[in-house]
């Protein structure tokens, strides 16, 4: 009996310590703007969303869409370099970055695809190319599927949207597995230990040592932007239309770019995209994980520029 009481006390103490050390208050967007707003930043209102957008450069239009838990900052180096040849637009999707939550709470990739067309329409742009990473890749290929005449070229970087069982894999990132449970989602909306973010993001990089404290701070602090955590928990419960059987009908010239060491969406998923897409080329980066544009930005810029300027691989 004493042993049981001892174990219970130890568990209770552990929970109390987690609550005490893991609780993190929300951060006002005005505070975050001091670090993450630049001279290229602007807010563009589309429907009920006040989107944080960066527009840089001159030339053919390229829309850059980030992935889950990320922000437009994931494109920072790539956007600056490509701005020499293209008009580049990066955006914080709702529930992410400085944009934050939206009143409608519509956070599916289908909603995001519609929202991105609204953004482009507001900017008076007719045709454009898209690059999307992870969840942003799923948004991108759904845009190409729904309005193909408007998309010049499509770039899928470690993109979501292929069921892993179809791709021949079944594992999921630990964070996504845990967040399937409502009790965990409730806790994570308030208890957000920094070390959990570090462990999670080290899975994303092929070389965990390359994941700097500066990058960790950016992901961690922007997740704590007022409303983002609650909105993220809502987003993860929403259903994305399963359109993977339609991928074979996308005729847009497409580049599939994949990190060979991606532990979030394995290379098998990229190979499945390559098999399905009728008008694509594929490049595998051996020294990259899930976010090549952060891990190997120089290589990513070279590959994207060549593809967008008409040099197929």
Q: Is 30's pLDDT higher than 50?
A: yes
Whole-number CA gyration radius for the chain = 20
Q: Does residue 261 surpass a pLDDT of 60?
A: yes
Q: Are 281 and 255 in contact (CB under 8 A)?
A: yes
CATH classification code of 28-308: 3.40.50.1820
Res. 182: pLDDT tops 80: no
For residue 195, the model assigns a pLDDT of 83
pLDDT band at 21 (very low <50, low <70, confident <90, very high): very low
Residues 271 and 241: beta-carbon distance below 8 Å: no
User: How much is the pLDDT for 242?
Assistant: 84
Contact 202, 211 (CB under 8 A): yes
Residues contacting 181, CB < 8 A, separation 6+: none
If pLDDT is split at 50, 70 and 90, which confidence band does 185 have? low
| Contact by Cβ (8 Å): 68, 219 | no
**CB of 303 closer than 8 Å to CB of 173:** no
Region 176-190: mean pLDDT is: 63
pLDDT band for 251, please (50, 70, 90 cuts): very high
Lowest mean pLDDT among 25-39, 75-89, 110-124, 193-207: 193-207
pLDDT at 166 over 60: no
pLDDT confidence of residue 5: 43
Say what the pLDDT of residue 188 is. 63
- pLDDT value at 152 more than 70: yes
Tokens of 150: 């408007």
Where residue 241 falls among pLDDT bands split at 50, 70, 90? confident
Mean confidence (pLDDT) of the chain: 88
Name, in order, each residue with C-beta under 8 angstroms of 32's C-beta and a sequence gap of 6 or more: 98, 221, 222, 225
Per-residue tokens: 36: 């993450």
pLDDT at 259 over 90: yes
Sketch the domain layout of the chain as residue ranges. Answer: 28-308
Name the helix (H) or strand (E) containing 54: strand 49-56
pLDDT (average), residues 53-62: 98
Whole-prediction pTM value? 0.88
Q: Using DSSP, state whether 87 is helix, strand or coil.
A: strand
pLDDT band at residue 187 using 50, 70 and 90 as cut-offs: low
pLDDT at 254 over 70: yes
* Residue 8 reports pLDDT greater than 50: no
Give the per-residue pLDDT at 15: 41
C-alpha span between 19 and 95 (Å, rounded)? 24
Q: Do 279 and 149 touch, CB atoms closer than 8 A?
A: no
* Whether pLDDT at 165 is above 90: no
The encoded tokens of residue 309 equal: 């300027």
Collapsed DSSP state (helix, strand, coil) of residue 312: coil
What was the pLDDT predicted at 208? Answer: 84
Say which range, 110-124, 185-199, 284-298, has the weakest mean pLDDT: 185-199
Whether the per-residue pLDDT at 80 is higher than 50: the answer is yes
Closest among 174, 25, 45 to 121, alpha carbons compared:
45
């Amino acid at each position: 009996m004493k042993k049981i009481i001892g174990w219970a006390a130890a568990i209770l103490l552990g929970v109390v310590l987690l609550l005490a050390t893991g609780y993190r208050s929300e951060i006002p967007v005005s505070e975050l703007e001091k670090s993450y707003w630049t001279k290229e930043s602007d807010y563009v209102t589309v429907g009920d969303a006040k989107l944080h957008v960066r527009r840089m450069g001159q030339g053919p239009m390229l829309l850059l869409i980030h992935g889950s838990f990320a922000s437009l900052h994931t494109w920072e180096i790539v956007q600056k370099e490509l701005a020499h040849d293209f008009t580049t637009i990066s955006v914080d999707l709702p529930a992410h970055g400085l944009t934050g939550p939206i009143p409608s709470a519509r956070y599916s990739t289908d909603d995001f695809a519609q929202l991105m067309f609204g953004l482009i329409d507001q900017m008076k742009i007719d045709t454009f190319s898209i690059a999307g990473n992870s969840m942003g890749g799923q948004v991108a290929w759904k845009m190409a599927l729904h309005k193909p005449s408007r998309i010049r070229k499509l770039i899928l970087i470690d993109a979501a949207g292929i069921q892993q069982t179809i791709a021949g894999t079944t594992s999921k990132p630990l964070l996504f597995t845990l967040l399937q449970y409502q009790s965990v989602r409730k806790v994570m909306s308030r208890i957000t230990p920094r070390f959990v973010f570090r462990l999670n993001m080290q899975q994303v990089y092929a070389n965990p040592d390359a994941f700097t404290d500066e990058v960790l701070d950016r992901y961690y602090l922007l997740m704590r932007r007022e409303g983002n955590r609650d909105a993220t928990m809502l987003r993860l419960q929403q259903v994305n239309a399963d359109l993977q059987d339609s991928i074979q009908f996308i005729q847009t010239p497409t580049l599939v770019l994949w990190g060979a060491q991606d532990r979030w969406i394995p290379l098998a998923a990229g190979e499945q995209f390559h098999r399905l897409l009728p008008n694509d080329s594929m490049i595998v980066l051996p020294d990259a994980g899930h976010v090549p544009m952060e891990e190997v930005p120089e290589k990513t810029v070279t590959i994207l520029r060549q593809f967008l300027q008409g040099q197929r691989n």
